[in-house]
């Protein structure tokens, strides 16, 4: 499998996961509506979840930069960062994104923003000091691919749906705890138990799908970034350095961990972690990403 087929495969798998995500949402909504015979709770949850996450998406760049204590990067201070991004943005047919840096020795980077016109690429000072120019091109190509592939939009949709499922399940449990009225289901005891179990487990299923979408987008950005730079070895070498650093970022945050090119909590992903750890990880193992990049 080469980079072109890997990219197509990742696109198909990502959208298959999104369809599965939508199925979970529909099933949860149906189960609660059936359980209570009243769709009002469902409508309220939808309004709250969509409104909250719409604001988060609209102001995503400001929120993420603030959470990670980022500052603007100037051409004079970070010449290679500025010129590499400028050149690759032209090659990708994108407007040059705003550039920010995080004062942190851990090598890492991310892209954010609601669309191509409002995109931001941010790198740590540790990454900019550690990478050669070819490695930096690999990292920037990866981040520009996130922008080109509209990953910020897709991940925002995933967050909306996961938040919606969690919120609806939480409302259901609270109403049930306080003795909310439910329809007479004496003849459907088994269905009622299955509905309750499904609603309780739905947030976990939604979170796992969200994380799976995030991991697939990393593979896709790796492949797309390598196609943009025409030098997959540069990104592979950069990932090796990022994965080998090991120490966490100073302000690692669960809310933004999925945005970074590498795990901001400093876990070395060599591919030997357990299946449970891999299932709940925001990133695929570094070694598997490197192997995918270097396949001919």
Q: Per residue of the chain (296 residues), give pLDDT as tens.
A: 555 565 666 567 667 766 776 677 777 777 777 777 777 766 776 676 667 667 767 887 888 899 899 999 999 999 999 999 999 999 999 999 999 999 999 999 999 988 889 999 999 999 999 999 999 999 999 999 999 888 876 776 676 667 777 777 777 777 666 655 555 555 456 556 666 676 677 777 767 777 877 888 899 899 999 999 999 999 999 999 999 998 999 988 877 888 899 999 876 544 445 666 666 787 899 999 999 999 85
C-alpha 241/C-alpha 245 separation (Å) is 6
Q: Choose among 262, 29, 15, 253: nearest CA to 154.
A: 15
Rg of the chain in Å (alpha carbons):
21
Residue of 143, 210, 233, 291 marked active site: 143
Q: Choose among 1, 8, 2, 4: nearest CA to 216.
A: 8
Beta bridge partners of 71: 101
C-alpha 17/C-alpha 131 separation (Å) is 34
**Verdict on whether the full-model pTM lies above 0.95:** no
Q: Which two tokens stand for residue 252?
A: 């690692």
CA torsion, points 82, 84, 90, 95, in degrees to nearest 10? -30
Residue with the two structure tokens 């980077």:
109
Contact between residue 231 and residue 134 where contact means Cβ atoms under 8 Å apart: yes
C-alpha 156/C-alpha 53 separation (Å) is 7
**What's the confidence (pLDDT) of residue 216?**
85
Q: Which two tokens stand for residue 55?
A: 């604001």
> Is residue 71 classed as helix, strand or coil in its secondary structure?
strand
Q: Choose among 124, 141, 138, 147: nearest CA to 290.
A: 138
Q: From the centroid of its chain, how far is CA 244?
A: 22
**Cα-based distances in Å from 163 to 17, 47, 68, 253:** 16, 12, 22, 17
Residue 143 is a catalytic residue: yes
C-alpha 137/C-alpha 128 separation (Å) is 11
C-alpha 28/C-alpha 117 separation (Å) is 36
**What's the confidence (pLDDT) of residue 258?**
85
Query: Is beta strand 109-112 parallel, antiparallel or unpaired with respect to 98-102?
Result: unpaired
**What's the confidence (pLDDT) of residue 43?**
73
């Amino acid at each position: 499998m080469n980079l072109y087929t890997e990219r197509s495969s990742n696109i198909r798998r990502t959208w298959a996961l999104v369809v599965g995500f939508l199925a979970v949402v529909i099933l949860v909504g149906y189960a609660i509506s059936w359980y209570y015979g009243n769709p009002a709770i469902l409508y309220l949850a939808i309004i709250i979840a969509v409104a909250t996450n719409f604001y988060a998406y609209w102001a995503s760049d400001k929120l993420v930069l603030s959470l990670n204590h980022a500052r603007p990067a100037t051409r004079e201070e970070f010449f290679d960062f500025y010129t590499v991004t400028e050149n690759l943005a032209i090659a990708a047919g994108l407007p040059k994104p705003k550039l920010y840096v995080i004062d942190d020795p851990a090598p890492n980077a991310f892209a954010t923003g609601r669309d191509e016109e409002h995109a931001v690429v941010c790198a740590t000072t540790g990454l900019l000091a550690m990478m050669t120019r070819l490695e930096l091109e690999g990292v920037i190509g990866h981040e520009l691919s996130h922008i080109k592939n509209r990953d910020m939009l897709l991940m925002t949709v995933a967050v909306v749906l996961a938040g919606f499922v969690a919120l609806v399940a939480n409302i259901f449990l609270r109403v049930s705890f306080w003795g909310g009225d439910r329809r007479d289901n004496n003849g459907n005891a088994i269905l009622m138990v299955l509905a309750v179990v499904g609603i309780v487990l739905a947030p976990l299923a939604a979170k796992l799908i969200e994380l799976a979408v995030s991991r697939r987008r990393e593979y896709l950005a790796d492949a797309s970034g390598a196609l943009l730079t025409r030098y997959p070895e540069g990104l592979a070498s950069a990932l090796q350095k990022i994965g080998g650093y090991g120490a966490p970022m100073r302000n690692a945050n669960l809310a933004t961990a999925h945005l970074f090119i590498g795990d901001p909590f400093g876990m070395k992903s060599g591919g030997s972690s357990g299946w449970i750890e891999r299932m709940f990880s925001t990133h695929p193992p570094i070694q598997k990403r490197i192997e995918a990049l270097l396949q001919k």
